[in-house]
Amino acid sequence: MKVLVIEDNLELLQDIKSFLEEEGNICEIAPTYKSAMGKIGFFPYDILVVDITLPDGNGLDIIREVKKENIDIGIIIISAKNSVGDKIHGLEIGADDYLTKPFYLAELNARIKALYRRKAYQGSREIYFNEIKIKPDSYEIFINDKPMNLTKKEFDIIHFFVVNKHRLLTKEAIAEHLWGDHIEMADSYKFIYTHLANLRKKIGELGGKNYIQSIYSVGYKFTDQEWT
């Protein structure tokens, strides 16, 4: 899961980032309205965690912009403001959840995971695609009920593929999902080819089908449908 946390309290920002990354997520941070909008315009995210009060703007305006652009993303507001009016207004303009400061990081993480389940796979704790079963909470994948032995990056790739099944995913989108802000450190996309070769081999060893279709010079599709 890829999360962008928008919060001007740098200590809280780093605490959230560290906690979410320990839970296996890719977490990027933005302490200002300007930096947040720059990231949202460039990188795809699964979840936004948005503080209302920012030094150079308002978090509610970020939500309005996201909704205006029809960006498909889950949104959780975090704020020291605890009025019913603020909560209602935030939810009315498009936020999915509202958490009042101070809060436990474990609760924020639980709400992020619950929101992602609702948006990505209709609230289920497991994802199915033909003979493939994924348990995101425990980072497990089964092929024909047999567990796969995967690295973290391999799990992230196949999970990303299954959640976005039948959709064309560019090499850039896959790389950004796996590496986030650090993608500029990669000098090529060879690491994607290596991971995909390993995945195809491991899936085949457990009797699974190869659903990873290469679209020449563009990217990949994870599908059981014929590509035309």
Confidence at 62, pLDDT banded by 50, 70, 90: very high
**Better-scored residue on pLDDT, 192 or 148:** 148
Alpha-carbon distance 225 to 211, whole Å?
9
pLDDT for position 41: 81
Q: Are residues 106 and 143 in the same domain?
A: no
Q: Do both 38 and 58 map to the same domain? A: yes
Q: Integer distance in angstroms from the first to the last C-alpha of the chain?
A: 30
Residue 79 domain flag? yes
Pair (213, 156) in one structural domain: yes
List the CATH number of the domain containing 164: 1.10.10.10
Cis omega before residue 102 (within 30°)?
yes
According to DSSP, the β-strands at 127-129 and 97-100 are: unpaired
Q: Name the amino acid, one letter, at 6.
A: I
Same domain as 115, residue 35: yes
- Does residue 144 fall inside a structural domain? yes
Looking at the fold, whether 7 and 107 belong to one and the same domain comes out as yes
Q: Does one domain contain both 112 and 154? A: no
CATH number of the structural domain spanning residue 50? 3.40.50.2300
Q: Does residue 227 lie in a domain region? A: no
Q: Tokens standing for 178?
A: 């796996």
Any domain includes 199: yes
Interval 159-201: pLDDT, tens? 888 888 888 888 877 887 777 655 555 556 777 888 899 999 9
Neighbours of 151 (CB within 10 A): 11
What is each CA distance from 223 to 42, 149, 168, 197, in whole angstroms?
26, 22, 10, 17
Domain end point (choices 63, 91, 121) = 121
Which domain range does residue 79 map to?
2-121
- Which three-class secondary structure state does DSSP give residue 170? strand
pLDDT at 20 over 80: yes
CA 227 to each of CA 33, 203, 216, 224: distance values in angstroms, whole numbers, following the listed order: 41, 20, 12, 9
What does the pLDDT average to over 203-219? 88
Per-residue pLDDT at 216 exceeds 90:
no
Give CA–CA dist 137/8, Å, rounded.
29
Pair 90, 140 in one domain: no
228 is a domain residue: no
* Same domain as 184, residue 76: no
| 55 lies in the same domain as 73 | yes
Chain segment 106-119, per-residue pLDDT in tens? 999 999 988 988 87
Give the per-residue pLDDT at 123.
57
Specify whether 85 is located in the same domain as 139.
Answer: no
Q: What is the structure's pLDDT at 183? A: 55
Q: What average pLDDT does the chain have?
A: 86
- Same structural domain for residues 117 and 142? no
Count of domains forming the chain: 2
pTM (2 decimals)? 0.67
Indicate whether 109 and 140 sit together in one domain: no
